[in-house]
């Protein structure tokens, strides 16, 4: 990965991803653009496409047409693969107050975000069940049925 970045106030993409401090699963890469699986996905398929240099947003004067063309080429390539595999996708970017990270980026995603929320909640409940069992607060959880009953009682 070529580190062509300028650090900007708390910019996760520059400070962590492009610098290599946070390892990511690369989907596609050019000299100026990186597409990778989101480190904390909001959808079952969640790929982020970023320029390797700091650009605050699509409205920034430093966002030149050549880079935009390369970004859209990569976004299209990623989207084609997601659609081939899943049948559809979303392509999203935000500007201003809607933009969490002040580094130009697009999300290419597929799936129901609630599946991620439910999976995270289920994982948390499983950890709680194991801990309660370890502390002697619950009976032995041997089967999926035992685990589901525990979760049902915990949510009731």
Which residues are catalytically annotated? 105
Nearest in space to 117 (alpha carbons), one of 42, 46, 47: 42
Distances (CA, A) of 88 to 14, 33, 80, 83: 30, 23, 9, 4
Q: Which residues, 6+ apart, have CB-to-CB distance to 96 below 8 Å?
A: 57
Which helix (H) or strand (E) covers residue 71, if one does? helix 65-86
State the DSSP code for 96.
Answer: G
DSSP symbols for 12-56: HIIIIIITTSS---EEEE-SSEEEEE-SS-SSSEEEEEEESS---
């Amino acid at each position: 990965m070529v580190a062509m970045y300028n650090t900007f106030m708390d910019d996760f993409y520059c400070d962590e991803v492009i610098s290599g401090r946070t390892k990511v699963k690369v989907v596609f890469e050019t000299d100026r653009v990186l597409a990778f699986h989101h480190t904390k996905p909001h959808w079952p398929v969640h790929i982020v496409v970023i320029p390797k240099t700091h650009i605050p947003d699509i409205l920034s004067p430093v966002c030149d047409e050549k880079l935009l063309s390369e970004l859209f080429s990569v976004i299209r390539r990623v989207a084609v693969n997601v659609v081939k595999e899943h049948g559809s996708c979303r392509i999203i970017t935000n500007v201003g107050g809607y933009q969490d990270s002040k580094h130009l980026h697009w999300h290419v995603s597929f799936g129901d975000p609630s599946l991620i929320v439910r999976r995270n909640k289920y994982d948390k409940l499983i950890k709680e069940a194991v801990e309660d069992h370890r502390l002697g607060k619950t009976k032995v959880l041997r089967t999926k049925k035992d685990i589901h009953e525990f979760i049902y009682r915990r949510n009731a």
